[in-house]
Amino acid sequence: MVVLVQATVLTVGLNGRSEVLRELPVRLIKMQSGLEAARSLKNEKVNSVISRWDLDDMPDGRFLKTFKAAKPYIPTIALVRAGSKSQEIAARSLGVSAVIAEDATDDVFRSTVANLLGLKGDVAIKAISSADNVEELMREG
């Protein structure tokens, strides 16, 4: 099976939560710490960043603040503590593209990412089983 990747997404501190994005046509780069993520950005070109607001090594949105200052044009999503108005307000004030509460359903999480990246359909993966299908997909655009 071949997946047509439409975007590269860096996830930071999401643990297993990023697995729900596997249904989208994205390449996932999963990091657990802000420092590890910052280092990876030197070698990786990403289309979007999804990060937990409070990382163990960079609390209070420090990773997202640093990232937005360096690359303000790249869409970002902040995952904030459920019910934390202060985290939500801080993330929105920073100018992130979207804010999602940690207790949001997988469907809401996946849909928010798909909408932010402009991906079509709920599940945008296309499988290619033969050379004929490749030509058909190319015609579909």
In a domain, 26, yes or no: yes
Name the residue among 95, 62, 74, 40 with its Cα closest to residue 28.
40
Q: How far apart are the first and last CA of the chain?
A: 19
Residue 1 within a domain: no
Start-end of H helices in 3-117: 34-40, 62-70, 85-94, 106-117
Q: Per-residue pLDDT tens, the chain, 141 aa: give them.
A: 455 778 899 999 998 888 999 888 999 999 999 999 999 999 999 999 999 999 999 999 999 999 999 999 999 999 999 999 999 999 999 999 999 999 999 999 999 999 998 886 544 343 333 344 444 444 444
Query: What is the span of the domain harbouring residue 136?
Result: 7-140
Radius of gyration of the chain (CA): 16
Query: Total domain count for the chain?
Result: 1
3-state secondary structure of 129: coil
Whether residue 109 is contained in a domain is answered as yes
Query: Does 2 reside within a domain?
Result: no
Distance CA 109, CA 82 (A): 13
Output the pTM of the full model: 0.81
Question: CATH number for the domain including 23?
Answer: 3.40.50.2300
